[in-house]
Structure 1
Amino acid sequence: MINNRKLLITLLAVCSLYFCVHVINNSGTPVFRELQQSGRNLAALEANLDNGPLVVQDSLLSAEPTRIFKNSPISVPNARDASPMEKTIPEKVLDIIKCMDKPMAAKTQQRGDYWVLYNYITPEKKFRCHESITYTTHADYSFMDNLVPLLDRWRGPISIAMHAPGTDFQNTIDSIAYLRDCVDPLVKEYVTFHVYFSTKHVPKVVPKHNNVLTEPYNCSLTPPFANVSSDQMYKAQKKLLYPVNVGRNVAREAAQTHFILPSDIELYPSPNLINKFLNMIADNKGPLLSKNPKVYPLHIFEVGGNQQVPETKTILKEMLSNKSAIPFHKNLCPSCHNIPKAKEWQNTEETEGLHVFHVGKRNGKYIHWEPIFIGTHNDPLYDERLSWEGKSDKMTQGYALCVMDYDFLILDNAFLVHKPGIKLYKKDSRRATLAAKTNQLIKKIIFPELKVLYGIRKGCAV
């Protein structure tokens, strides 16, 4: 009887031990399994479980850190353990796009014929790769009056590359300081500034990134970008071309988020676009499930100089009907922004949220379409041999997108509006000459390269 009792106790002890080990291995320490699977060494953990709470942060785990509490083998479930109904929108987005966070590090680096100061002036807010969309853009300091109205509608991260050769550099820094200290706290909160200039036009003094804005700006001073004329700028005095695609690529590559909106600083987005877009991505339905690479183009419009930028599609439709708004570049290059199903889009009523209105392609009558779209870091970059003055600066990227069979998922309730003022055609002989030279460069050198690198597809053209 005694031997049987001992045997029973032993069996119960073994079963209890097995049960505990099973619980710990299967639900108690999922963070350990994740760390082991990702090749991380547990010795790198900076705290001991007996010494208080331990926080392990990893972009592959969740939007929130997993906490292991003192004297407890049980952890709070992370985003990947939660059921779909329990997950937040950012967690659902992370599950779908599976992006990786990257550090926002300041660095000085040569890029072809340019020096680039990456992350030269950084914002207070930082975003993980799945938490937002970054509006990426470019400018010189004469365009800085657009930043606040852009930011007021965007309310999210902006990555901007500033062209600042020679004496334009100090005016650029002063303009940034004025906007951060004197105009709108959103600038300091959301905007990352990169600075670039030609190796032949290096400023006389370039402070290190941690010494560039050490003193508050004197807000009684007039900002350099106020009423500046182009002939006052170093760039104009030296007859420099504006390297638009260098700026586009610098701002894009430095963006912290997976989704990016490469655009121009004078194009203001419809409000609340970030939240609506991420909700759509989290739903992950219909055309979003296509295996083709995809981008999300936005309709673009111009409004009269005395008009307010419309807040909603409903207001925009009214302005289109009374001619106080027109499609972008209608008077300059209609085919460049002739977006598929444009008339149908304008006749469709506004709805809640954001959805794919139409899946288009850059071929047929849209063969020279220059879409502006929400995309990702996987999309082709812009050719840095092309300048703003020479035009056609986005055409080569458009060819690559076409050959790679991209789907253009046109959004129904989102749009961009240019800074108020209808554009009219003005004859510019210097720019016409540069455009002719650019066309020859594309035809004889760049296009043959693109055919080798990306291939050819029927219906695709530069």
Structure 2
Amino acid sequence: MVNIYNHVLPSCLHAAVYKQIGWRRRMIVVMVVVVVTTVVNLAITTTTTTILTTPGYLTISPEQNTSECCADVGVAGGLGVSDASGNYTIHTFAWPGSAWDGMQEAGVCLATHATVDRLHFLAQSVQAWTGPVSVAIFAPGVDYGVAVAMVRYLRRCVERISTHTSFHLVYPRWSPIREVKRGSSITLRCDKPEESNLALLRLREQFNHRTELRYPQNILRNVARSACPALYCLNADVDMAPVQGMWSRMAGYLSRRPGPLPCHRCALVVPVYETAASLQTPPADKMDLLRLVLKGKARRFHVQVYERNQGNSHLEMWEVEPGIRTKRDSSSPYGILYNITTYEEFWEPVLVLPRTAPTFDERFLGYGFTRSSQVYELHLLRYQFEALNEAFLTHRGFQTTSSYSPTRRAQNEINHVRYQIFKRELHARLGLPPPAPLRLPPSPLLSFLAKRHPTSRLVYLSGVRKG
């Protein structure tokens, strides 16, 4: 606070001038200074709640109460552990939620993953998902500084993130974490998480930032899932928004489900839809979503990109649920609408699984077959797939292949071949006959590999070279 008598008056009025004016004018001057000083102090108190300064790796400014901050101590790079391949370093619980120790009875946990440019999605997700959230962040090199700042911002601005959300770090061993050194200040608004995220991303512009790194999403998914304290885990992407009340209704159903807990061969299917980019908020409930579908402002996820993504979920049955009412008890537990007894390869549902379920196969880097490979294994292990009646996730923006980069298409082709290797190994481990050989359509990438490395196992399995 500013002391008006010791600081403001001497700077505003020379002592000699102050003595020459009458007492009434003196009182008016003092009153004006008091009002101005009060306004200034109020403005300082208000704005400092959202100011982040950036010496080192973006620390809270001196005006703020640093005890409220989550990341006053940075992550020591030498204290991470290696993944199974030896190519990535992992820091679990880099910033744990303050109430995480009491989450063992939560029933179900949301496990998600993100690059530093997509962390802002968490601000909206935790408003609907009020249970524990485990987040694995991919933060190579200078992305670490952005991650520290964004985590701090989220935990200062969203109370449930500071208490119910734990963050973990993953980065390649050849791109270790680097601190962002900059002496300027950044003003962030708590009601503008996306804009704040973009502002923090500019911190890495001064560096030679690498953007071509393959995204190890299955490693990230496994890290987030392994840190979940509950019996069940919903593993969804960070840009998939849960419907309101999802955690409490799902936890209520799981706690009342007949039979032993957890159900070791149960896979609960959560439908995923995509909404028009013009919609600022996700649908509030299932009826709201179905209205958007009828208006053409929502559709099944990836229906225009790859229909098999959600095809085997039979969402045509989910969308015509019998007995649907205009008013529902938003707090009642979910139920099972129907069992899914069919299986179509390359199906990629978002699932709620017991913590004993198989993990994601970490050989798949980048895009393609990262989720469908796990579903294939669950199918061979005879898991029972069940569609929840009113639970769903939404992704903002219609998906089209035109937005896919050539790098993503190349990753998909490589992972298509890895998928065949995965299937052969899985069949051998389970004592099943080998799967049918994979034959891909002609691909410029694989044709190039066939010419450069004709004896490559990758080329052999792709079917480009006969053997």
Answer whether TM exceeds 0.5 for this pair.
Answer: yes
**How many angstroms does 1:343 deviate by?**
1.2
**How many angstroms does 1:114 deviate by?**
1.1
Moved more, 262-271 or 351-360: 351-360
Superposition pairs for residues 265-414 of structure 1, below 5 Å? 265-285=238-258, 293-307=265-279, 308-348=281-321, 349=324, 352=329, 353=332, 354-361=334-341, 363=343, 366-389=344-367, 391-414=368-391
Q: Distance in 2 between matches of 1:234 and 1:385?
A: 30
**How many angstroms does 1:138 deviate by?**
0.6
Q: Distance in 2 between matches of 1:300 and 1:123?
A: 28
The answer to whether residue 174 in structure 2 is matched with residue 200 in structure 1 is yes
Q: Distance in 1 between matches of 2:114 and 2:239?
A: 10
**How many angstroms does 1:166 deviate by?**
0.9
Q: Distance in 2 between matches of 1:425 and 1:315?
A: 27
**How many angstroms does 1:405 deviate by?**
0.2
Contact 2:308 2:347 in 1 (8 A): yes
Contact 1:116 1:197 in 2 (8 A): yes
Contact 1:261 1:373 in 2 (8 A): yes
**How many angstroms does 1:396 deviate by?**
1.6
Contact 2:142 2:179 in 1 (8 A): no
**How many angstroms does 1:303 deviate by?**
0.9
**How many angstroms does 1:262 deviate by?**
0.5
Q: Distance in 2 between matches of 1:219 and 1:135?
A: 30
Q: Using a 3 Å threshold, how does the CA distance of structure 1 residues 424 and 250 change in structure 2: closer, same or farther? A: same
Output the amino acid matched with 2:98.
E
1:138 pairs, out of 113, 127, 135, with: 113
Contact 2:243 2:392 in 1 (8 A): yes
**How many angstroms does 1:233 deviate by?**
10
Moved more, 168-177 or 230-239: 230-239
The answer to whether residue 139 in structure 2 is matched with residue 167 in structure 1 is no
Deviations 1:172-218 (A, max 9, x none): 1111111112x222211211000011111112459xxxxxxxxxx97
Q: Which residue of 1 aligns with 2:235?
A: 262
Output the amino acid matched with 1:378.
T
Q: Distance in 1 between matches of 2:128 and 2:207?
A: 31
The answer to whether residue 410 in structure 2 is matched with residue 433 in structure 1 is yes
The answer to whether residue 98 in structure 2 is matched with residue 124 in structure 1 is yes
Q: Which residue of 2 aligns with 1:452?
A: 428
Q: Distance in 2 between matches of 1:128 and 1:224?
A: 28
Output the amino acid matched with 2:356.
N
Output the amino acid matched with 2:408.
R
Q: Using a 3 Å threshold, how does the CA distance of structure 1 residues 339 and 458 change in structure 2: closer, same or farther? A: farther
Q: Which residue of 2 aligns with 1:252?
A: 225
Contact 1:302 1:417 in 2 (8 A): yes
Contact 2:311 2:347 in 1 (8 A): yes
Output the amino acid matched with 2:230.
T
Q: Structure 2: which 5+ runs fail to align? A: 1-75, 190-194, 439-467
Superposition pairs for residues 45-64 of structure 1, below 5 Å? none
**How many angstroms does 1:234 deviate by?**
7.6
Q: Using a 3 Å threshold, how does the CA distance of structure 1 residues 326 and 455 change in structure 2: closer, same or farther? A: farther
- SS of residue in 2 equivalent to 1:237: coil
Q: Which residue of 1 aligns with 2:7?
A: none
Contact 1:260 1:375 in 2 (8 A): yes
The answer to whether residue 87 in structure 2 is matched with residue 110 in structure 1 is no
Deviations 1:118-155 (A, max 9, x none): 10101121234332421101111100110101111111
2:129 pairs, out of 137, 143, 154, with: 154
Q: Using a 3 Å threshold, how does the CA distance of structure 1 residues 291 and 381 change in structure 2: closer, same or farther? A: closer
Q: Using a 3 Å threshold, how does the CA distance of structure 1 residues 320 and 185 change in structure 2: closer, same or farther? A: same
**How many angstroms does 1:442 deviate by?**
2.0
Contact 1:174 1:224 in 2 (8 A): no
Q: Using a 3 Å threshold, how does the CA distance of structure 1 residues 434 and 279 change in structure 2: closer, same or farther? A: closer
Contact 2:232 2:354 in 1 (8 A): yes
Q: Using a 3 Å threshold, how does the CA distance of structure 1 residues 283 and 277 change in structure 2: closer, same or farther? A: same
Contact 1:294 1:407 in 2 (8 A): yes
Output the amino acid matched with 1:139.
A
Moved more, 121-130 or 261-270: 121-130
Output the amino acid matched with 1:381.
T
**Percent same amino acid at aligned positions?**
20
* RMSD between superposed Cα atoms in Å: 3.1
Contact 2:366 2:408 in 1 (8 A): no
Output the amino acid matched with 1:383.
D
Q: Using a 3 Å threshold, how does the CA distance of structure 1 residues 185 and 282 change in structure 2: closer, same or farther? A: closer
**How many angstroms does 1:417 deviate by?**
0.7
Q: Distance in 1 between matches of 2:210 and 2:350?
A: 31
Contact 1:362 1:460 in 2 (8 A): no
**How many angstroms does 1:241 deviate by?**
0.7
Q: Paired residues, what number?
A: 340
The answer to whether residue 162 in structure 2 is matched with residue 184 in structure 1 is no
Q: Using a 3 Å threshold, how does the CA distance of structure 1 residues 202 and 459 change in structure 2: closer, same or farther? A: closer
Q: Using a 3 Å threshold, how does the CA distance of structure 1 residues 232 and 249 change in structure 2: closer, same or farther? A: farther
Q: Distance in 2 between matches of 1:236 and 1:400?
A: 37
Deviations 1:154-174 (A, max 9, x none): 112110001111111111111
Contact 1:168 1:234 in 2 (8 A): no
Moved more, 132-141 or 427-436: 427-436
